[in-house]
Every structure is written in C-alpha cells, then in structure tokens.
Chain A
C-alpha cells in the first residue's frame, strides 16, 4: 500500500483557464505577483525601485504597475520559517537604501551547537560546514514579511491580501494573468447570500512566488512542460515559539532521537532551536515526507522532543505563544524545473524549489530570485518587447544561473547523499556517523515521490507523550494558537479520496498537524476549516488547493 494508490480527484486543467470576465470588468495590472513571501515581496520591491527611475514605463503600466496577490489575511499570516537568515540577498536588495540593523532581526548568530540525541543524552558533535551560521541573522519570517510588505507598498506596489490566485490564465500559449478565488461559497460550493465572485487579473508579466507546494506553479510546470530531472520531494516542519525564563544565546540543531535509525523507517530530519532575542526562542522539528510509518506525526515528535532533558531545560518556566507548520521542498538542484520561465511567466522562490537543503536555507534564495525576476520583467517591459514571445523572459534563467543561488545549489548537488537526507543527515553526515557508530544515515538517496513509499506500521504512536497543556500540547489547541478562525461552512479545499485503505486514512490523520482527517467507518472525514495549509497532504497522496482568501492560520511570530 502506498499513498499514490489513491490519487487525488484533481486535474491540473482545473487550475488553468482562459480569461472569462467581460473585457470591461477585467482588472489590468502591470506585473502580477502571486504570493507575499520573501520571493514575491522582493520582486515587488525591486520592481518599485526600477520603476521609480523609469517613470515613463511606470506610466505605461497603468494605474497599478505592480500588484501582489496574497491569500493570507495579512502579509505574513501564512509565512513560517526557522529562521536563520543569510543577509546577503537583503543587502543587495536594499543597497544604499536600508542598513541591516533597520530590518526586524532578533540578532546575529554568534554561537552554535549541534547535538546527536538519544532518549536521555545529548552528544555534542562538531558543526558541519553546511550548518555553520556564524554572522547570519535570526528572524521571524512572518514579521520580516510584514516589514517587507510595508516596504513594497512604499515602493508603489499594491498588496492584495485575503485574495487567493486559483487559476492561471493562459491564452494562445502565453500566460495572461491569474484568476482570483470566489468568496462566500457554502460547504457544497453553493453561493451564499454574500457571494462575491473572483476576478480575472490580467498582467503583462505574471510572477509566481507561491512558495512550497505552489498550486499555480505546479499547473504551470505541467502546462508548459517544465518538469526537472527528479520529482520534487518535501519535508514537513512543525514549530513553536516560546516565551522563556532564561535567554538562549546560541543556535542549536539536533539529530537522532526521537527519529529512528533503522533504514526501513526512512525517518530523516532533526530539530532546530533558535534564540529570538532574550525573551523568546523558537523550536521546530522537520521530517522528510518520504517516511513510511503510518503513525508518524511531526507535531507529536516535536512534543516528544520537548521532553528531552536538553530541551526541557530551555523551556522550563516558559510559555508557548505560537505554533505553526509548513513544508519545505527538499529535492534541491536536481528537482528544479528545466526552465524558470514560460511566455508571460516567471517562477521564483520555493515554488520552483530554490532551497539549499543541506543548509536548511531558502529565504535568501527566494529574495534573490524574486529580485532577479523583477529585473528580467523590467528589462522586457523597458524594451517594449512582446512579453508573450517565446524566450522573451529567458534572461531570467541566465541571471539566476549567473547568481550565487545557482552556485550554492550546484555546489551541494554533488552531495547526493545530502539531497537524499536533507539538512541534518546530509549536512552532518560525518558527525552523525561517528556519533551513531554508523547506524545513521539509513537508506538511499531520495528520487521517488513521497507518495510512492510503501507504508508500514510499527506502533510508533505509543511513545508520543500525552499532552499536559504546559510543555506538550494536542493538535487542536495548537491550531487555535495558529490564529486559525476559518468559518465552519467554507468549501472543502482539500482534494483527497474519502474511501481509502485504512492505513492511508491513519497516515493522513497522524501526519496532518491540524487534525483535519479522521478515519470513520471505512471513510475519511475531512474537517477542512482546521487546515493550516502546510502542504503535507500534497506530498502524501492528496492535493491542497488555495482556500478562500483570508482563511487559514494568522501567524504573526513564526
């Protein structure tokens, strides 16, 4: 039994359409950017900078030269990361405009430790080169995103939160823009009294910066035949923010326990613990979604991790103030699309997979690719060239290939092992092998889709601690802390088969950090309004589609 035996009732054609609104009702913008994450916002900021110096072009682009479409309630509402940020791309973006100390960072990383954990012990191991973070900055990506959004607005972009892009508008072989989602539909899709239909947003250039599991990005890759050499694979990260009694003064990564070493389990991942100033810290657990055990739950593994003496000590006397979950593309260089553009379209950030897996870093690549996308779009607009012409936007691919993004990812590409195992086992291979006497790393590199892994059952759930409401928490109280207050009668945006093998039903129930799935008499009950849009279901046999704009989590500190 594997999840892919029950493919989701979803066809990519649903996400691609021609413009349908009558001409006079269409919304015309210059550049439409989908996603107010670091990639999309950097793109908007860079465009603003370029247009400021070329008012004639801005004029030509109409009333709204740059629009950013974001499904979260506010910019930042759907942003979640570690995050230790390499400031390189930000420095370039704000050169001569902002100093790094004007950005909302919690501080510079000065010390770091890596541990190999067993149930009760923590063995310090040397920090592997890819895990070195000296000089990087700690941030909450949600906060950084809000700040970047304010900069983008100042630079002239129009930010449109609470708006999901649900369809890629394609006509005559070129991307014309996107269609936004309807609002005010009932559970069965019926129109409620306050129904408000979506709109066609037409743009000269559309930049997809949707981040992980991008819905339209996936559709674009399929429609334009852009798929790379390897399929994309993902890891799921669940994290919390704590107000703590004593400041943590270093960055910590752990590997080993509570993950298991046996090759058959395919449990690749580890934890991060980052200081956020003197009063807060954040900790998270990341596990590759190629795992096999139906009872594996990253949320519960994070709860288990907190019972380790090393971690418990840090949290003692503290209080949990935020929680959230999100997936990370882990395919790396070999999973990148073979082109980053199509007529009228550019792809940036996590969507196409710009993550340096052995370093657990994507933010500076998102910012850099977003800014490069802006430059490519601007160049075409400046030349007044037909944007839809094949290859008109190819300069973007060139620029990315010339940039540090490509060099970084290519460099680690040869660590095939690293790609197979993600950050912890890839980056820290040597350390782990020493500390575990050769038990880690288990298994082979990852080249199969996550949903192709055969499922096993090993009684893993017995070890999860019972929630005590102080150190360890259940999923529902965690979802509450995510700020999710989605209306109960929103339509279901999760495409899964509801009659599936019992193992798969259980896998989903355990995997989902938001308690969306519940096996019930041979069926899977789906409570879609719990969903925090982490994307894990797309990796394991279902499909997350963009829900009604403004719904889902309302992260502020993650």
Chain B
C-alpha cells in the first residue's frame, strides 16, 4: 500500500494532528510519504521524517504562501496522478477539509470524513467513524483508488521514529481558477484563550458553583490546563456566564480531549453537547447526579475543596 499524508503547518511548525495521522499511516504499513505545501517550508521536511515519513514531497512556492485550499488541491492532484498513491490521509482542519473535498472532486475519488480509526481488514482498508452525533458507529470503505480520508481532530498521537527521509521537491503548476482567491489579511489569534469549539481542554461550570463569582475557580483551572471555560444553561440563564459558552442541546456541541464538569448535574440536554469528549471528569457532591453515569472519572465531593487544590497541582506539574 502506498499512502500520502498531507501535512499542515502553521508558523514553521508541523501540526500535531498531521503528525499523528502520519504515525498511524506508518503503523498501517506500506510506503508512507508526506506532502508539505507552502512557501519557505523546505526546512519542515526533516521534522516529517522524525515522525514516520519515508519520503517527503515538498511543494515550495510563493503562490502557496497563504493557507488557501485550491492551490493545494492542484499540487496534491498532480502528485497523486504521477505516483499513483492508493491512500491519501488528512488530519481534519478548516484548511484540509477543503483540500480533501476539492481533491475528491478533481480525482473522482471517495472521501470518508470524521474517521476515528483505520484498519486493514481482510486486505481491505476500513475506516471507523461515529455518525449522527456519535450515536452509531459505522465501518466505511472506498470503491477504487485513491482512497481519501479526513481524520477527526485529536485522534492519533504523533510517534517519533527518527529517520532521514528522502526529500523531493515537486513542481508547482496551478490552475487558473485556483489562484483567484487571495488572502488579504491573515490574522492571528484575537481572543486570549481558545474558543470552546477549538479547545483541547474544557472546564465547564454549573450551578453547583453557587454564584457568578465562583466562576473564577473554573477559569483558574482552565488557565492552568490551557483550556477554555464552558457553562450549563442553568448558569447562563441566571446571567452568571455568557451564552456563547453554553454547551448542550440549545448551545454548542463540543468534543475536546478533556472535559471537566464542575458542579454540573449532567442533564441529557447538557450531555448531548459534550458526550463526544474523549475523557470526561466530573466533580459533584451528589453521588446520584446523572453526570456520573457517563463520566470516565467521577469525584464525589465539594468542588470548593477540590478545584483550588487541583488547579495548584496542575500548575505545579506544568511548571516542572
């Protein structure tokens, strides 16, 4: 099997999710190559080698400076056509989703999205994915090649396997329509922390906090963890926290790697907004709170005791 992994980068760093997908590709076996497209990105090739790419194609061109999808579709399509990759994998982001779908159209190739695993079964590549708000799990496949896949954010961890990759520069030839969209302003983070949809870690506060002032407790913990703060409808209704942070049926749906629920009963309307989280930790003084039915770790106790201590411990670990 020959696999091409599209590597996304930002400010001179390859993105962790892309590297995680690379590690998965290496684990699946066969020839694993990577594609880095950008301007002044040659230096990133070595990084890719360290995470499992035997070969790295580098498309380095000023026209690829801005993170826009269409020129990247041209580059990837060209590469796939020339080398006949059987599989092309993407770690899902705003940019790569557009690249993958554009490529699917260009090559009339099947694209499966939202995969949380890939496996060889009876000689076939099978994608595993949750669907319909994670209520069902589906095994999906491809008719013919190349097989394109978008892997859900945060699914695979990068694995270091030091190697010198073979690096090949590829020619960049772009379609006329691909360069029509122009980046006018590429801004960086405007807010202080990640928004709850993008956050890797969410600390959510509920009515158990007792009052708006106590949100400082969850804010401190979120800061220590580098995460964002979310809230339940009960506290948003009470005016303790803004609606933009509400998670649940009538708020946002989130699926961070870690969700810490503080003083939240865990009503189903809240659950449907966060059950896709990878690890759920709940702190609640009521041993019968519904949140304990779906948390991975449930601590029965007073949040006022536990949270400050936890924040301190996390700070210490991060400092160390």
Chain A residues near B (Cβ < 8 Å): 466, 469, 474, 476-477, 479-480, 485-489, 527, 529
5 pairs, A vs B, C-beta closer than 8 Å: A466-B288, A480-B269, A486-B250, A487-B250, A488-B237
Query: Which one, B243, B249, B268, contacts A485 given CB within 8 A?
Result: B249
Chain A residues closer than 8 Å to B288, beta-carbon distance: 466
| A477 to B233 alpha-carbon distance, docked (Å) | 15
Whether a CB of chain A sits under 8 angstroms from the CB of B236 is yes
Task: Contact check, B250 vs A485: say whether CB atoms are below 8 A apart.
Answer: yes
Tell me whether A477 and B250 are in contact in the complex, defined as CB-CB below 8 angstroms, given that A469-B293, A527-B237 are known contacts. no
Task: Please indicate which of the listed interface residues B236, B237, B288 has the most CB atoms of chain A within 10 Å of its own CB.
Answer: B237
Chain B residues near A (Cβ < 8 Å): 233, 236-237, 243, 246, 249-251, 267-269, 272, 288, 290, 293
Chain A residues closer than 8 Å to B267, beta-carbon distance: 476-477
| A527 to B267 alpha-carbon distance, docked (Å) | 15
Chain B residues closer than 8 Å to A474, beta-carbon distance: 290
Task: Contact check, B269 vs A488: say whether CB atoms are below 8 A apart.
Answer: no
Q: How far is the CB of B247 from chain A (nearest CB, A)?
A: 12
Query: Which one, A466, A480, A489, contacts B249 given CB within 8 A?
Result: A480
Least CB separation from B233: chain A residue:
A488
Tell me whether A477 and B268 are in contact in the complex, defined as CB-CB below 8 angstroms, given that A469-B293, A487-B250 are known contacts. yes
Least CB separation from B234: chain A residue:
A527
| A477 to B249 alpha-carbon distance, docked (Å) | 12
Closest 8 CB pairs of A and B: A476-B267, A480-B268, A477-B268, A488-B250, A480-B269, A488-B233, A485-B249, A487-B250
Task: Please indicate which of the listed interface residues A480, A486, A487 has the most CB atoms of chain B within 10 Å of its own CB.
Answer: A480
Chain A residues closer than 8 Å to B272, beta-carbon distance: 480
Chain B residues closer than 8 Å to A477, beta-carbon distance: 267-268, 290
Chain A residues closer than 8 Å to B290, beta-carbon distance: 469, 474, 477
Task: Contacts A466-B288, A529-B250 known; list 8 others, CB within 8 Å.
Answer: A469-B290, A477-B268, A480-B268, A485-B249, A488-B237, A488-B243, A488-B250, A488-B251
| A150 to B159 alpha-carbon distance, docked (Å) | 59
| A451 to B252 alpha-carbon distance, docked (Å) | 40
Chain B residues closer than 8 Å to A469, beta-carbon distance: 290, 293
Task: Please indicate which of the listed interface residues A474, A476, A479, A527 has the most CB atoms of chain B within 10 Å of its own CB.
Answer: A476
Query: Which one, A466, A476, A487, A489, contacts B269 given CB within 8 A?
Result: A476
Least CB separation from A478: chain B residue:
B268
| A487 to B267 alpha-carbon distance, docked (Å) | 17
| A477 to B270 alpha-carbon distance, docked (Å) | 10
Q: How far is the CB of B261 from chain A (nearest CB, A)?
A: 16
Chain A residues closer than 8 Å to B246, beta-carbon distance: 488
| A24 to B74 alpha-carbon distance, docked (Å) | 57
Least CB separation from B269: chain A residue:
A480
Least CB separation from B246: chain A residue:
A488
| A486 to B250 alpha-carbon distance, docked (Å) | 8
| A487 to B250 alpha-carbon distance, docked (Å) | 6
Task: Contact check, A488 vs B293: say whether CB atoms are below 8 A apart.
Answer: no
| A477 to B267 alpha-carbon distance, docked (Å) | 7
Chain B residues closer than 8 Å to A527, beta-carbon distance: 237
Least CB separation from A473: chain B residue:
B268
Q: How far is the CB of A44 from chain B (nearest CB, A)?
A: 33
Chain B residues closer than 8 Å to A466, beta-carbon distance: 288
Chain A residues closer than 8 Å to B237, beta-carbon distance: 488, 527
Q: How far is the CB of A442 from chain B (nearest CB, A)?
A: 35
Q: How far is the CB of B215 from chain A (nearest CB, A)?
A: 19
Q: How far is the CB of B268 from chain A (nearest CB, A)?
A: 5
Chain A residues closer than 8 Å to B250, beta-carbon distance: 485-488, 529
Chain A residues closer than 8 Å to B251, beta-carbon distance: 488
Q: How far is the CB of A473 from chain B (nearest CB, A)?
A: 10
